Structure 1
Amino acid sequence: MSTATPTSRLPIRPLLPGQTVDGRPATLGVLGGGQLGRMFVQAAQSLGFDAVVLDPEATSPAGQVSHLTVQGAYDDRQALARLAGIAHAVTTEFENVPADSMAELASRLPVAPQADAVAIAQDRVREKALFKRCEPDSNVGPAPYAVIETAADVDAAPEALFPGVLKTARLGYDGKGQANVATRDELRAAWQQLGGVVCVLEQRLSLQDECSVIIARGADGTVVHLPMQRNLHRGGILAMTEVYEGNVPRSLANHAVQATRHIAQALDYVGVLCVEFFVLSDGRLVVNEMAPRPHNSGHYSVDACDVSQFDLQVRTLAGLPLLQPRLHSPTVMLNLLGDLWFDAAGQPRELPWAQLLALPGCHLHLYGKREARAGRKMGHLTLTAATIEAVRATAREAAALLGMAPWWDDAASAAQVRAATDSVQDE
């Protein structure tokens, strides 16, 4: 358990693009060298900042494009000291970085998000307690749940939580560390299979949609947000995100944005925060989880918004003005997983990049990962167009070229878009 506390935080001090500080270029640091770090570095460089990455690998995706890389473990105190000696402010690209490392850095230089927010996001028990604490103000709570720490907790789990989903309290992501359980016996077996670690048992709900909200909150309390994202997951991994006016009813989107603001306020959060929501079959919202960083579902913002989630991450870290992003085009984002790099027989194959890049409004982002593996995020496609119908048609064409399984029934999807749009117009 992290010992990090809010008192360990130094204030964000403004860093200006192209500024020299103590005889050195203003430099922003990031813990983690994955694709989120890569896109943060690119956003920082576009504003004239130098960038430094701390990662165990010498040639990480972010390290490939950064000015400097500090190679070392995230809890290596020497590596952390080197990072603190180079950077003028530090952020993170993933939530499983040791929160104590964030706290140690925060005693030396500005860090956003703060260590205590990262520690809460690492622990589903603490995270759900936060959501419950915010529920009276936000009117959005988590799914009914119980904490499973002992065999006695298994025996005492309320019958109303079955069928349910058992999730490890820590280190679960992209569908890992989870198991569906329909009975108490299945719960007992799943808990043992997960190693008898602390878990959360959530009631399985009837879902209509999965959505997410990304906000940025500055040190002065200013909050801006991206449009609400409508997401599709496969195997626990995000497959597609759709963003356009009417992707969900406006009242629902406003409610989710306000709930996300309440969570950020409760944390006194500084940085970019993503909160994922379930939309139930009766139209109610349930908060699922949060990520104290940019999020896969916000990647489209690089190509479809005038201010991206990574621009906002840079601005919050550097103490620069936050602008409300504007969506300039309807958009669909497709995740490119390593599975696509292999044919049905498991043999490597060449992907039709030239045909994809010939599609209007197609923006390809590959992350520089040298080895493709099943389930590994290798890149993404963002499709943009002038109309909802055009972008969805292009997304279908791209999916067919890639060999991705269809994800919607045309008639049902069109009806859903019409219903959502009607809800907007009715307001």
Structure 2
Amino acid sequence: MADLPLQPGSMIGILGGGQLGRMLALAAGRLGFDVVVLEREADSPAGRVCAHTIVAAYDDAAALAALAAVADVVTYEFENVPAAAVASLVGMGVDVAPGPLALAVAQDRFEEKTFLNANGAPTVAFAAADSPEAAVDAVARIGAPALMKTRRDGYDGKGQRWVEHAADAARVFAELGSVPVIVEAPADFVRELSVIAARGRDGATAVYPLAENHHEHGILRRSLAPARAAPALTEQAERIAARILAGLDYVGVIGIELFELSDGRLLVNEIAPRVHNTGHWTQDGCEVDQFEQHIRAVAGWPLGPTRAIAQVEMLNLLGDEADTWSKLAAEPETRLHLYGKRAAKPGRKMGHVNKVRPL
């Protein structure tokens, strides 16, 4: 195990070489750390800004051993990294943060909601199903319409379908691949919010202002932050975040997606044990952004301040929208963040902009 806090010049390992890994690596570099990435693609966005890249599958035993040999601590940029890979690293004496519990909870939507409810973080009603008959029964108990989701591997709206009538549940179950699913009651929400929070090695926590989020076709299009929110709503979100962080014995930054109901209550939609798209606004809107905060936490450094210093509208650039970079770069209120991905595809996140205004 590494001696903490990590000294500048130490090596931080990242599982995953996408845009989140890239922005984590850039933040680590600012603090004087070197970064090694384990990534399947040789020409990854994160790999091109890192000191070293190990090109292999995430569960490749030799690659994990090579990562363990050079990294002082290891973190990950997405929650679908194989849990067995993290267990293997831990077995080799590597400090992995966030820990295996956070990964296990976030990788299974049923386990996630069960954990949330057990730790005082309310969600919609839900039920699990692993057969067509169980799916019909689950929808009948929850009530239609209901949202059916695969328990694993869903993101950006993938792996989920609405079930309008209980009689349709078996068909929808088959459309989702006849794999274990969770059936969720709809949330009668007035808006979608999120809170980005962090917990350090010493148990200290830091919470960012709320963001208001707008999705299209299951993909985040824009976030507005800090969101307009009464103090009671902000306090409710902070209590939820504190319970989740403590329940997971968490180290690092976590994204918590929330539904605000008409009566002012908050329900947790889902959690992401990593830096989060709805926290990108912090890069230009806060004293310390979510990426630096995550590096600080996993390195055992003190957490930084989370106070907002600007009002930000974050817009995701999807597909060829990133081709307008020249126009965007000329806008004085716009801060452009491009991910260095080689090929633009419809719906693919190629970058984002933060439109900054005074508070």
TM range (shorter): over 0.9
One-letter amino acid of the structure 1 residue matched with residue 211 of structure 2: Q
One-letter amino acid of the structure 1 residue matched with residue 145 of structure 2: P
Match of 2:98 in 1: 113
SS at match of 2:6: coil
Match of 2:50 in 1: 66
Match of 1:170 in 2: 152
Cα 1:159–1:89 change in 2 (3 A) is: closer
SS at match of 1:293: coil
- Residue in structure 1 matching 2:116, options 127, 131, 135: 131
Cα 1:170–1:191 change in 2 (3 A) is: same
Cα 1:43–1:180 change in 2 (3 A) is: same
Per-residue deviation, 1:60: 0.4
Q: 5 Å matches for 1:69-80?
A: 69-80=53-64
Structure 1 gap segments, 5+ residues each:
1-9, 19-25, 342-350, 388-427
Match of 1:412 in 2: none
Q: 5 Å matches for 1:203-222?
A: 203-222=185-204
Q: 5 Å matches for 1:43-122?
A: 43-107=27-91, 108-122=93-107
Contact map agreement 2:2 2:73 (CA 8 A) in 1 = no
Contact map agreement 2:136 2:169 (CA 8 A) in 1 = no
- Separation in structure 1 between the aligned mates of residue 31 and residue 128 of structure 2, nearest angstrom: 45
- Separation in structure 1 between the aligned mates of residue 26 and residue 195 of structure 2, nearest angstrom: 23
Match of 2:290 in 1: 309
Match of 2:245 in 1: 264
Match of 2:176 in 1: 194
Contact map agreement 1:16 1:320 (CA 8 A) in 2 = no
Q: Do residues 15 (structure 1) and 6 (structure 2) align? A: yes
One-letter amino acid of the structure 2 residue matched with residue 215 of structure 1: A
Per-residue deviation, 1:13: 2.1
Per-residue deviation, 1:86: 1.3
Q: How many residues align?
A: 357
One-letter amino acid of the structure 1 residue matched with residue 349 of structure 2: K
Q: CA RMSD in A?
A: 1.5
- Separation in structure 2 between the aligned mates of residue 204 and residue 223 of structure 1, nearest angstrom: 31
Provide, for residues 371-420 of structure 1, a one-character-per-residue CA deviation record: whole Å limited to 9, x for no partner: 01111100000011114xxxxxxxxxxxxxxxxxxxxxxxxxxxxxxxxx
Match of 1:35 in 2: 19
Contact map agreement 2:258 2:266 (CA 8 A) in 1 = yes
Per-residue deviation, 1:249: 2.3
Per-residue deviation, 1:160: 4.3
Structure 2 gap segments, 5+ residues each:
none
Match of 1:235 in 2: 217
Q: TM-score, normalised by structure 1?
A: 0.81
Q: TM-score, normalised by structure 2?
A: 0.96
Provide, for residues 101-137 of structure 1, a one-character-per-residue CA deviation record: whole Å limited to 9, x for no partner: 11211232211011121011000111011011012xx
Provide, for residues 270-303 of structure 1, a one-character-per-residue CA deviation record: whole Å limited to 9, x for no partner: 1111111111233221111100000001011111
SS at match of 2:292: helix
One-letter amino acid of the structure 1 residue matched with residue 321 of structure 2: L
One-letter amino acid of the structure 1 residue matched with residue 183 of structure 2: L
Match of 1:363 in 2: 335
Cα 1:333–1:12 change in 2 (3 A) is: farther
One-letter amino acid of the structure 2 residue matched with residue 88 of structure 1: D
Cα 1:352–1:98 change in 2 (3 A) is: closer
Identity rate of aligned residues, in percent?
45
Cα 1:80–1:160 change in 2 (3 A) is: closer
Match of 1:252 in 2: 233
Provide, for residues 60-117 of structure 1, a one-character-per-residue CA deviation record: whole Å limited to 9, x for no partner: 0000110110000000010001111111111000000011211211232211011121
- Separation in structure 1 between the aligned mates of residue 48 and residue 136 of structure 2, nearest angstrom: 51
- More displaced, 154-163 or 204-213? 154-163
Match of 2:255 in 1: 274
SS at match of 2:309: coil
Contact map agreement 2:199 2:250 (CA 8 A) in 1 = yes
SS at match of 1:311: helix
Per-residue deviation, 1:144: 0.8
Match of 1:399 in 2: none
Q: 5 Å matches for 1:393-412?
A: none
SS at match of 2:260: strand
Match of 1:347 in 2: none
Match of 2:303 in 1: 322
CA radius of gyration, larger in: 1
Cα 1:282–1:27 change in 2 (3 A) is: same
Q: 5 Å matches for 1:288-303?
A: 288-303=269-284
